[in-house]
């Protein structure tokens, strides 16, 4: 048996370029920071200029808008000559029970959470092919798989990411591109800060570990999937939920 490789080398992203969407948010900024700490140059994308860290390149873009995504990749191409990692964290909720959910709330969430991934992949795949391969991580949610009261739009968009991600994994694998999905359970961020205490208590109860996750928990899973440590992992859904959903 050959000696085990150095784990830190397998997690290194030295010389790699990563693009992170939703990079001003709780999970996105932690992801950007962990990729940067692993040695990657990071382009941070958010609605307004993202300020994840002084060293990161910031690109303002509404990722639900096809023309804006195209312009963003033009700006990206002027600054970077390759793309190795895409982590799509941008996402919104607009909760209401189905029969009270207006059409804007439906399309707004689908466009921001799901259409965006399609738009990003269309630009990212050719760049990753040119770089000889790459890794894409789409941030879904456990609510994609289990459904959630008041979140028909959100659950549908996040379930769509799983189908899109697995199809992209099949279509791009032969170019050395891996595509995986991370499904967080409840994580302590701005998105969940305003939820009633009883919902947070229920999430804690549901979790086998008895706690709500931290943004770092998702960032570490993102780094694993972005790095050579997960070289033979593609088309998978990795739940980072403390065992909140097990099936």
118 catalytic? Reply is: no
Active-site pick, 154, 160, 184, 185? 154
Please, which of residues 40-59 interact with ligand NAD by CB under 6 A? 46-47
| CA angle (158, 162, 167) in 5-degree steps | 140
Select the span of 12-20, 69-77, 125-133, 189-197 touching ligand NAD (CB under 6 A).
189-197
Alpha-carbon span 140 to 120, nearest angstrom:
15
Contact pattern for ligand NAD over residues 118 through 157, marking x by CB under 6 A = ---------------------x-x----------------
**SS3 category, 224:** helix
The rounded distance, in Å, linking the Cα atoms of 150 and 99 is 10
Alpha helices by DSSP H, the chain = 7-10, 26-37, 66-79, 103-110, 116-130, 143-146, 152-172, 190-193, 197-206, 215-226
Tokens of 49: 């200029």
Nearer to ligand NAD, 63 or 152 (CB): 63
By the rule CB under 6 A, 160 interacts with ligand NAD: no
Nearest in space to 32 (alpha carbons), one of 7, 47, 8, 51? 51
Q: Is 184 in the site for ligand NAD (CB under 6 A)?
A: yes
Q: Would you count residue 190 as binding ligand NAD (CB under 6 A)?
A: yes
Q: Which of 52, 63, 137, 225 binds ligand NAD (CB under 6 A)?
A: 63
Alpha carbon distance 217, 219 (integer Å): 6
**How near is the Cβ of 24 to ligand NAD at its closest, in Å?**
4
Q: Quickly tell me which residue has 């399309």 as its tokens.
A: 107
Minimum CB distance to ligand NAD, residue 17 (Å):
19
Residues that bind ligand NAD (CB under 6 A): 21-22, 24-28, 46-47, 62-64, 89-92, 112, 139, 141, 184, 186-187, 189-192
Residues annotated catalytic, as ranges? 154
């Amino acid at each position: 048996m050959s000696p085990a490789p150095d784990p830190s080398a397998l997690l290194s992203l030295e010389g790699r370029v990563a693009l992170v969407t939703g990079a001003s948010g709780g999970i996105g900024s932690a992801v950007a920071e962990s990729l940067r700490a692993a040695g990657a140059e990071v382009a941070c994308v958010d609605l307004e200029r993202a300020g994840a860290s002084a060293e990161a390149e910031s690109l303002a873009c509404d990722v639900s808008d096809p023309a804006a995504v195209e312009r963003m990749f033009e700006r990206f191409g002027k600054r970077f000559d390759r793309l190795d990692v895409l982590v799509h964290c941008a996402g919104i909720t607009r909760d209401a029970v189905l029969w009270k959910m207006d059409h804007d709330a439906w399309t707004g969430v689908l466009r921001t959470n799901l259409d965006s991934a399609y738009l990003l992949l269309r630009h990212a795949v050719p760049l990753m092919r040119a770089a000889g391969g790459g890794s894409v991580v789409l941030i879904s949610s456990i609510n994609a798989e289990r459904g959630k009261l008041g979140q028909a739009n959100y659950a549908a968009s996040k379930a769509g990411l799983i189908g899109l991600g697995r199809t992209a994994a099949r279509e791009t694998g032969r170019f050395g591109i891996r595509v995986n999905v991370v499904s967080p359970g409840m994580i302590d961020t701005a998105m969940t800060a305003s939820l009633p205490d009883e919902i947070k208590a229920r999430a804690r109860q549901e979790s086998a570990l008895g706690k709500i996750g931290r943004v770092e928990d998702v960032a570490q899973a993102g780094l694993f999937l972005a790095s050579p440590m997960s070289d033979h992992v593609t088309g998978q859904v990795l739940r980072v939920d403390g065992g909140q959903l097990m099936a």
